[in-house]
């Protein structure tokens, strides 16, 4: 089949790579407003990038701008992030101008809340619209898609289902691998999955606060819970709060949806609030450690991106930390392997923020070190050097990546989350 893929998300990249690998002819248009040779994507995933490069050389994958996409495309797939809704509308209107023979298979894989697909359908109403929820896990993108037990598809018309199954047959050859349901149901399912995962994180964070007060190490509790096959280990790590653009947006959309139906449910609002609280937990620990006397102190932070292996700082706890520390007159020395440019773009030059490209440089003369993102390079630092460089040997471990006993034995004051 001839497939056109629009959008610069990780999902768009993965689908381009995988579909072209199986012999589909794929035209990927990632940027609507630039030339095809400026191909850009918004993700960092080496496996996906390698596969994409390989497919380009085979000729089954072509980077393309809108104008050079042929008219005889069988399947259009749209995968945008939620800030790009207007661009999608423009794109659909320009597609409408083209002399395409309808109907075509139109796949929406972007999350624009409930009835998002319906809005697209109103523009190109002669086509066959389906919704494919993007439930890909960052950091494990290819496997999470190809090895899914079942694929959720928002599509109820059997003649359209046939087209979907033909497109995805190489990955999902069996009938029972498809879970067809109405589009609205699928959209709500997608949000509900994010809501469930967020609930798990806020639940463990809530327990961590209690554990701390009772002198229990939440790490043991977490291991014990994970050992129960009904629970499993995913999304159970206590820490300084979840972030990320799409995930956070899903939770807010779901919470608003619930609120606007008039149903009296506060669970998701609380999940969100707990997480917002959690984002400044390291600040509160610092505050307590110094009895509120933070004026004119300096603090190092390792990690600004909302999770490791990305430069995205959207909804990252770094923002709450900076605001809280600055309000108390603290100077922040920040290191991050990838996100410093984003930070500088957002906050500009200021005297109470010093950006460091070397993680050890950042801790020079500071009164405490906060680890906010679990980048691999932070896991096994040179503790002796840290101790020598820091003004006061205090480590606040926002991701519980260190062994408390070992760190304390190195002469540090140590505090994790829930331990």
Partner 1 sequence: MTKQIHPFPVREQTSVVEQLAVLQKQFKELHLNTLFAADEARFKRFSAEYDQIVFDFSKHRIDQQVLSQLVDLAHVQDLDGWIKRLFSCEQINYTEQRAAMHWALRLPKSSPTLPVVNQAVQAQLEQMYALVEKIHAGQCRGATGEVIQDVVNIGVGGSDLGPLMVTHALSDFKVKTAKPLDIHFVSTMDGSQLSGLLHQLRPETTLFIISSKSFGTIDTLSNAQTVRQWLEKALGNNEKILKNHFVGVSTKPDKMTEWGIAPDKQLLLWDWVGGRYSLWSCIGLPIALTIGVEGFKQFLAGAYAIDQHFQTAPFEQNIPVLMGLLGAWNNNFLDIQTHAVLPYDGRLKYFAAYLQQLEMESNGKSIQRNGEKVSSVTCPIVWGEVGPNAQHAFYQLLHQGTHSVSCDFIAPVKRYNANQFTYAESAEALVEQHHLALSNCLAQSRLLAFGNRALAADELQGLPAYKQYEGNQPSSTILLKELNPYSLGMLIAMYEHKVFVQSVLWNINPFDQWGVEKGKEIANQLLPILNREQEDLSSFDASTQGLLKILLGKTDG
State how far the Cα of 308 lies from the Cα of 141, in Å rounded to an integer.
15
Candidates 236, 324, 370, 374; binder of partner 1 (CB under 8 A) is 324
Tell whether residue 372 is a contact of partner 1 (CB under 8 A).
no
Residue 27 burial by CB count (10 A; 0-12/13-18/19+): exposed, middle or buried? Answer: buried
Of 240 and 286, nearer to partner 1 (C-beta) is: 286
Residue 92 in tokens:
């659909």
Of 73 and 286, nearer to partner 1 (C-beta) is: 286
Residues in contact with partner 1, counted by CB under 8 A, come to a total of: 12
Residue 80 burial by CB count (10 A; 0-12/13-18/19+): exposed, middle or buried? Answer: buried
Least distance between partner 1 and beta carbon 335 (Å): 24
Tell whether residue 413 is a contact of partner 1 (CB under 8 A).
no
Site for partner 1 in 325-344 (CB under 8 A): 327-328
State how far the Cα of 368 lies from the Cα of 397, in Å rounded to an integer.
11
Of 1 and 252, nearer to partner 1 (C-beta) is: 252
111 in Cβ contact with 152 (< 8 Å)? no
Candidates 93, 98, 284, 376; binder of partner 1 (CB under 8 A) is 284
Looking at the chain, how many residues does it have? 419
Of 98 and 284, nearer to partner 1 (C-beta) is: 284
State how far the Cα of 308 lies from the Cα of 139, in Å rounded to an integer.
9
208 in Cβ contact with 417 (< 8 Å)? yes
287 in Cβ contact with 293 (< 8 Å)? no
Least distance between partner 1 and beta carbon 368 (Å): 14
Nearest to 85 by CA among 128, 115, 64: 115
Tell whether residue 291 is a contact of partner 1 (CB under 8 A).
yes
Tell whether residue 266 is a contact of partner 1 (CB under 8 A).
no
Q: Which stretch binds partner 1 (CB under 8 A): 11-19, 192-200, 284-292, 355-363?
A: 284-292
Three-state SS at 243 = coil
Site for partner 1 in 31-50 (CB under 8 A): none
Candidates 210, 292, 361, 409; binder of partner 1 (CB under 8 A) is 292
Q: Which stretch binds partner 1 (CB under 8 A): 63-71, 89-97, 203-211, 283-291?
A: 283-291
Of 190 and 367, nearer to partner 1 (C-beta) is: 367
Q: Are strands 369-371 and 298-302 parallel, antiparallel or unpaired?
A: parallel
Determine if the peptide bond prior to 103 is cis (ω within 30°). yes
Residue with tokens 């509900």: 192
Least distance between partner 1 and beta carbon 323 (Å): 7
Report the 10 Å Cβ neighbour count for 18.
Answer: 21
Tell whether residue 346 is a contact of partner 1 (CB under 8 A).
no
Least distance between partner 1 and beta carbon 326 (Å): 9
Residue 390 in tokens:
């820091």
Q: Are strands 105-108 and 331-335 parallel, antiparallel or unpaired?
A: unpaired
Tell whether residue 288 is a contact of partner 1 (CB under 8 A).
yes
Of 163 and 285, nearer to partner 1 (C-beta) is: 285
Tell whether residue 323 is a contact of partner 1 (CB under 8 A).
yes
Q: Which stretch binds partner 1 (CB under 8 A): 50-58, 104-112, 282-290, 296-304?
A: 282-290
Report the 10 Å Cβ neighbour count for 346.
Answer: 13
Of 177 and 328, nearer to partner 1 (C-beta) is: 328
Q: Which stretch binds partner 1 (CB under 8 A): 72-80, 138-146, 233-241, 279-287?
A: 279-287
The contact set with partner 1 (CB under 8 A) reads 283-288, 291-292, 323-324, 327-328
């Amino acid at each position: 089949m001839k497939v056109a893929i629009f959008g610069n998300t990780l999902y768009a990249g993965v689908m381009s790579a995988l579909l072209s690998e199986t012999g589909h002819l794929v035209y990927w248009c990632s940027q609507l407003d630039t030339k095809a040779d400026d191909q850009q994507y918004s993700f960092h995933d080496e496996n996906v990038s390698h596969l994409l490069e390989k497919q380009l050389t085979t000729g089954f994958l072509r980077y393309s701008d809108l104008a050079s996409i042929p008219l005889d495309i069988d399947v259009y797939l749209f995968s945008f992030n939620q800030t790009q809704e207007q661009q999608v509308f423009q794109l659909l209107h320009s597609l409408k101008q083209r002399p395409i023979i309808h109907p075509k298979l139109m796949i929406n894989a972007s999350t624009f809340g409930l009835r998002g697909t319906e809005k697209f359908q109103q523009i190109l109403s002669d086509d066959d619209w389906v919704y494919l929820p993007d439930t890909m896990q960052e950091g494990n993108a290819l496997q999470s898609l190809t090895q899914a037990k079942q694929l959720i598809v928002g599509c109820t018309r059997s003649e359209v289902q046939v087209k979907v199954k033909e497109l995805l047959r190489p990955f999902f050859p069996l009938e029972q691998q498809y879970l067809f349901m109405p589009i609205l149901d699928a959209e709500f399912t997608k949000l509900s999955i994010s809501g469930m995962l967020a609930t798990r994180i806020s639940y463990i964070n809530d327990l961590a606060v209690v554990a701390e007060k009772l002198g229990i190490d939440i790490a043991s509790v977490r291991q014990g819970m994970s050992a129960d096959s009904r629970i499993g280990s995913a999304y159970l790590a206590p820490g300084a709060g979840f972030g990320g653009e799409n995930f956070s947006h899903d939770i807010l959309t779901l919470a608003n949806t619930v609120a606007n139906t008039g149903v009296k449910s506060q669970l998701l609002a609380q999940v969100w609030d707990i997480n917002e609280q959690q984002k400044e937990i390291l600040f509160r620990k610092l505050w307590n450690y110094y009895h509120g006397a933070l004026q004119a102190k300096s603090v190092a932070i390792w990690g600004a991106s909302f999770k490791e292996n990305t430069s995205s700082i959207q909804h990252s706890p770094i923002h709450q930390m900076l605001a809280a520390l600055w309000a108390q007159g603290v100077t922040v020395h920040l290191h991050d392997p990838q996100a410093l440019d984003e930070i500088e773009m957002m906050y500009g030059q200021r005297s109470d923020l010093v950006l460091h490209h070397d993680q050890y440089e950042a801790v020079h003369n500071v009164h405490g070190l906060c680890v906010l993102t679990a980048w691999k390079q932070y896991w096994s630092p040179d503790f002796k050097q840290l101790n020598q460089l820091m003004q006061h040997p205090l480590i606040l471990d926002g991701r519980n990546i260190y062994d408390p006993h070992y760190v304390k034995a190195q002469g540090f004051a140590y505090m994790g989350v829930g331990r």
